Each structure stands twice: as C-alpha cells, then as structure tokens.
Amino acid sequence: MNAVGRDDPKPQPPERSCPICGKPASTDRLPFCSKRCADVDLNRWLSGVYSIPGQDARGREADGEDE
Ligand SMILES: [Zn+2]
C-alpha cells in the first residue's frame, strides 16, 4: 500500500471569493475574479467617495437658515 499523496502539505493560498459576483478570485486580480469585477468595484468606490462630501457640506450650510 502506498500512503504517499494522502497528506500533501501544499502551500495553498486561502480561497477568496470575488466581492462583486462571488466567484473564486483570480490570483492575478485579487481580490476579484476578473478585471470586469475590479472595474465595477472601482466605480462603486469612486461614486461613493464623491457623494459623501457634497451631502455633508450641504447639510451644514443649510443649518440655521429659517424663513
Ligand atoms: Zn467577480
């Protein structure tokens, strides 16, 4: 009998799931599975960053204004 191959301590990288579509991430595009998903996340991130300062400034400016 051969026990070789039963315990193979291979240095496997932890499996990650693409945060966009949930597919196994590609080692070239971590943490995403493809360039498409990386672009999707980038667009989400950028749109979120741009919307935060605008809303905050507006709310503070309008405070105290009464007719
Ligand atoms: Zn993906």
Interval 2-60: pLDDT, tens:
656 677 787 765 678 999 999 999 999 999 999 999 999 999 989 886 665 555 555 55
Distance 43 CA to ligand 1 centre (A): 14
Domain locations along the chain: 15-55
d(CA 33, ligand 1 centre) in Å: 4
User: Is residue 46 within 8 Å of 53, Cβ to Cβ?
Assistant: no
Question: For 43, which DSSP code?
Answer: H
Centre of ligand 1 to C-alpha 8, Å, is 30
Q: How far, in Å, is the centroid of ligand 1 from the Cα of 63?
A: 42
Q: Which residues are near ligand 1, the ion (C-beta closer than 5 Å)? A: 18, 20-21, 23, 33, 37
Which pTM does this prediction carry?
A: 0.50
What pLDDT, on the 0 to 100 scale, is given for residue 51?
62
Distances (CA, A) of 57 to 5, 26, 39, 50: 63, 40, 28, 12
